[in-house]
Structure 1
Amino acid sequence: MSEQLTTREGAETPSVKMIVFAVGAQEYCIPILSVREIRGFEKTTTLPFAPAYVCGAINLRGIILTVIDLAAYLNIPPELENSRRVVIIVESRAGVVYGLLVDRVIDLADISTGDIQPTSDEGACLHGLVLIENRMIGILKLDTVVKHLVGESSKE
């Protein structure tokens, strides 16, 4: 893995606190330390010539943020008539702040780093997969999403 997940010490096996959310029928998670806030989905301002997965921009207390439709980004059919769609405001390790439009937030989970099964593709948008209560959950690689959003300039 090119990125390191931030772990909490104190337990015998390091674990990471993750926020679990759904995009279509699939569940994903990201480290809770990357999340600034969760807010209801609001109308976005269209950005000309933006990739198809960019919903547009929102004003977050005077800061203009790009919102990524995670369903479009991951090529998953979204739940369009879902009133539980939310935007998760995240910050990448490079300091880029943006919104991820997801179908619903499900839960918080402590994931043991030893339980994460790596994916085979190094350039993929997933760190790996983890099994939680018989549900296969993908661990999203936020820096890869940012790289697609803003290009290679997000690397420091």
Structure 2
Amino acid sequence: MLGGFGFLAVFVSALALRNASRDDDYHDRLHGFAEEAERLLMMVLLVLFGGIIAFGGLLAGFDWLMLLFVAGVLLVARPAAGLLSLVGSKLPWREQLVISFFGIRGMGSIYYLAFALNHGSFADPHRLWAIIGGVVLASILLHGITVTPALRLLDRWQRRRVESRA
């Protein structure tokens, strides 16, 4: 009503509610429900995303230049931004590397591109959709393949660190 951005308002409200009721037993149950609902929603979104790729032609205009851009985003830009955001963190550097590599989920990019396209004029929106689709698909594949080995390696590093202190 006041021209506020709803996405940010929900985020701030969630933070306030979380901090206000952190010690309540209901908080744990609500948190569990929210995680389960998120998993189910993500599953539905991924199925719809796969359908758009398979039958909607989302990646129809995908080319080698776009592939290089996607690789740059996933292997350089996102990890660098993640590392930069963790400057001053007390986390061990290896954990910072893992967090930076995996970054945040890419499905939000779809929302942000849709928002941008509704509020601005772009020369080739189909190319932008293909790039976002490529980033999300490559992220799902790359991180799906690497998450288990990366977390096992991180667990070994943490065990060594604990054993070296003892």
Smaller-chain TM-score bracket: under 0.3
Larger relative helix fraction: 2
If the length of structure 2 is used for normalisation, what is the TM-score?
0.24
> Which is higher, the Rg of structure 1 or of structure 2?
2
If the length of structure 1 is used for normalisation, what is the TM-score?
0.25
